[in-house]
């Protein structure tokens, strides 16, 4: 067995030590989770500034779960369709929706396959799956709320820095019709 790798009969405690050692060596912000052998890691991004993910070492697999966005306010079908299409390109991960409609990135890796390289690839894939679609998911699922916040901030001279990358969408006139984004009834 080489250093930084766990053999075929992987011991969950050894994998947990490998995960915490990897996070520390990589300079990642992390802390123990609430569950046994859980590590909560914060990944820095560009669009989604912080992706918090749980790495849970089970008896046979390492599972990962990262929050993407809360239940979209609007256009659920478009948000979910966009993410389901992205599922086809995700390496060992998938987008999932919980009972409240909140969206997560999830995955599982057999303990026997966990080593430093696998952790690096897993966390890189989680970050990409959270960061890359983030702006589009916000624009699809929260545009009305963002327009309200933009109008409120600009009317009071407040900073709009957190919405600046959406300026092109927020300064447009919203389509006429009901607040829910559906076309008016005929």
Q: What value does the mean pLDDT take over residues 20-34? A: 97
Distance CA 24, CA 148 (A): 41
Domains of the chain: 12-133 (3.30.1460.10)
Determine phi and psi for 140, rounding to 5 degrees.
-75, -40
Confidence of residue 156 (pLDDT cuts 50, 70, 90): very high
Q: Phi and psi of 38, rounded to 5°?
A: -105, 135
Counting Cα atoms < 13 Å in the Cβ hemisphere of 2 gives 7
* pLDDT score at 87: 94
SS3 content of the chain, % helix, strand, coil (to 5): 40, 25, 35
Name beta bridge partners: 10: none
- Mean pLDDT confidence for 167-173: 84
36 DSSP assignment: T
Q: 3-state DSSP call for residue 158? A: coil
Instruction: Determine the pLDDT at residue 100.
Output: 96
> Residue 162's pLDDT is what?
86
Residue 118 has pLDDT above 90, yes or no: yes
Give the pLDDT confidence of 43-68 residue by residue, as tens digits: 999 999 999 999 999 999 999 999 99
């Amino acid at each position: 067995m080489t250093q930084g790798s766990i053999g075929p009969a992987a011991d969950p405690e050894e994998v947990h030590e490998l995960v915490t050692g990897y996070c520390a060596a990589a300079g990642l912000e992390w802390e123990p989770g609430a569950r046994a052998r859980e590590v909560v890691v914060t990944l820095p991004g560009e669009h989604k500034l912080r992706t918090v993910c749980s790495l849970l070492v089970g008896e046979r697999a390492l599972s990962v779960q990262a929050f993407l966005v809360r239940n979209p306010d609007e256009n659920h079908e478009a948000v979910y369709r966009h993410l389901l299409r992205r599922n086809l390109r995700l390496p060992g991960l998938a987008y999932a929706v919980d009972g409240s409609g909140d969206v997560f990135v999830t995955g599982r890796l057999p303990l026997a396959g966990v080593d430093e390289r696998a952790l690096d690839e897993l966390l890189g894939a989680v970050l990409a799956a959270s960061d890359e679609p983030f702006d589009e998911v916000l624009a699809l699922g929260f545009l009305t709320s963002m327009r309200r916040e933009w109008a409120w901030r600009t009317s009071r001279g407040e900073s709009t820095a957190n919405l600046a990358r959406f300026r092109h969408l927020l300064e447009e006139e919203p389509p006429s019709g009901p607040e829910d984004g559906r076309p008016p009834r005929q």
